[in-house]
Amino acid sequence: MQIPDDLKFTENDEWIRVEGEIGTVGVTDYAQDQLSDVVYVEITVAVGDAISKGEMFGLIESVKAAADVYMPVAGELTEINESLVDTPELVNSDPYGAAWIVKFKISSPDELDGLYDPSAYEEYVKERSS
């Protein structure tokens, strides 16, 4: 299982990469592994939408389950990864790269402090896997 050291993580298995005031969000390698073969990604927000921390912004369906995707911190959407609609399997093959879901301007940077760092997320995953 991959856990890149330049990301922060949520208890719902989303990741966020912060570059200046822009956040990029996707689901973790652990999440895609638990879901199995992803067959559908729905993004329920639009560019320009303001979204609160913890608000659902999408849905990922696999052959064995479905999972809602939530915002790790508040912000205004600047970009949506439309390629996931046609190639949802990217979530399985490249969860930390091509399978990013949304990009947004972070409106509450202090909310980042409440997220897991890589080592804490790894421990959290281990606790749930045992």
* pLDDT for res 129: 83
Spatial separation of the C-alpha atoms in residues 61 and 86, rounded to whole Å:
13
Residue range 40-46: average pLDDT? 96
pLDDT digits 0-9 by tens, 50-106: 999 999 999 999 999 999 999 999 999 999 999 999 999 999 999 999 999 999 999
Residue 1, pLDDT above cutoff 90: no
Predicted TM-score of the model (pTM): 0.95
H or E element, residue 86: helix 83-86
Cβ-defined contacts of 63-70 (< 8 Å, 24+): 63/36, 63/37, 63/39, 64/35, 64/36, 64/37, 65/34, 65/35, 65/36, 67/27, 67/31, 67/35, 68/12, 69/12, 69/14, 69/25, 69/27, 69/101, 70/10, 70/12, 70/14
* pLDDT for res 26: 98
- Band of the pLDDT at 115, cuts 50, 70, 90? very high
* pLDDT for res 53: 97
- Per-domain residue ranges of the chain: 21-107
* pLDDT for res 130: 75
pLDDT digits 0-9 by tens, 10-39: 999 999 999 999 999 999 999 999 999 999
Residues 101, 84: contact at Cβ < 8 Å?
yes
CATH code of the domain occupying 21-107: 2.40.50.100
